[in-house]
Amino acid sequence: METKKRILTGIRPTGALHLGHYVGALENWVRLQESYECFFLIADYQALGDHMDDIDGIRSSVLEVTLDWLAVGLDPAKSTFEVQSYVPQHAELHMLLSMVLPLSWLQRNPTLKSEMESLESEHKTLSLGFYNYPASQVADILLPRAHLVPVGDDQLPHIEMTREVARRFNRLFAPVFPEPDALVGRVPRLVGIDGQAKMSKSLGNCIYLKDDEAEVTNKVRRMFTDPTRIHATDPGHVEGNPVFIYHDVFNKDVDEVNELKERYKAGTVGDVEVKRRLAKALNEFLEPIRARRGEYEVRMDDVKDILRDGSSRARVTAEETMNEVRDAMRLRYTE
Ligand code: TRP
What tens digit of pLDDT does each residue of 269-307 get?
Answer: 999 999 999 999 999 999 999 999 999 999 999 999 999
For range 202-214, the mean pLDDT? 96
The superfamily CATH assigns to domain 211-293 is Tyrosyl-Transfer RNA Synthetase (1.10.240.10)
Asked whether residue 2 carries a pLDDT value surpassing 80, the answer given is no
* pLDDT at position 184: 95
Distance 141 CA to ligand 1 centre (A): 9
Q: What is the pLDDT of residue 335?
A: 87
Give φ, ψ of 9 to 5 degrees. Answer: -150, 170
Residue 232 confidence (pLDDT): 84
- What is the three-class DSSP state of 150? strand
Cα separation, 206 vs 218, in Å, equals 12
SS3 176: coil
User: Does residue 235 register a pLDDT over 80?
Assistant: yes
DSSP character at residue 86:
G
Q: How confident is the model at residue 177 (pLDDT cuts 50, 70, 90)?
A: very high
Quick one: what percent of the chain has pLDDT higher than 70?
99
CATH H-level, domain 6-191+300-328: superfamily: HUPs (3.40.50.620)
CB 83 within 8 A of CB 66: no
- Beta bridge partners, 38, equal 7
Nearest to 36 by CA among 3, 13, 11: 3
Residues of the chain with CATH 1.10.240.10: 211-293
Strand partners, 8: 39
Whether the Cβ atoms of residue 25 and residue 152 lie closer than 8 Å to each other:
yes
pLDDT band at 148 (very low <50, low <70, confident <90, very high): very high
Q: Give the pTM.
A: 0.96
User: In testing the pocket of ligand 1, which one of 6, 26, 46, 89 has its CB within 8 Å of the most ligand atoms?
Assistant: 46
pLDDT in tens, 34-48: 999 999 999 999 999
Please tell me the distance from the alpha carbon of residue 137 to that of residue 176, in angstroms, as a whole number: 17
Whose C-alpha lies nearest to ligand 1, atom 13?
A: 9
- pLDDT at residue 1 in the model: 58
| Range list for CATH 3.40.50.620 in the chain | 6-191+300-328
pLDDT (mean) for 82-110? 97
pLDDT band at 94 (very low <50, low <70, confident <90, very high): very high
Which residue has its alpha carbon closest to ligand 1 atom 5? 11
User: Average pLDDT of the chain?
Assistant: 96
For the stretch 52-80, pLDDT in tens is: 999 999 999 999 999 999 999 999 999 99
- Dist CA 232 CA 270 (whole Å): 4
**Nearest residue (CA) to ligand 1, atom 15:** 11
pLDDT, average across residues 120-133: 93
Identity at 296, one-letter amino acid code: Y
Helices 242-250 and 271-297: crossing angle in degrees, nearest 10, is 50
Ligand 1 atom nearest residue 137's Cα: 9
Rounded Cα distance, 210 and 69, in Å: 11
Grouping H, G, I as helix, E, B as strand and the rest as coil, residue 181 is: strand
Helices 213-221 and 271-297 sit at what angle, rounded to 10 degrees?
150
* Residue 228, SS3 per DSSP: coil
238 alpha carbon – ligand 1 mean position (Å): 34
Q: Please give the pLDDT value at position 132.
A: 96
Work out the widest C-alpha separation in the chain, in whole angstroms.
83
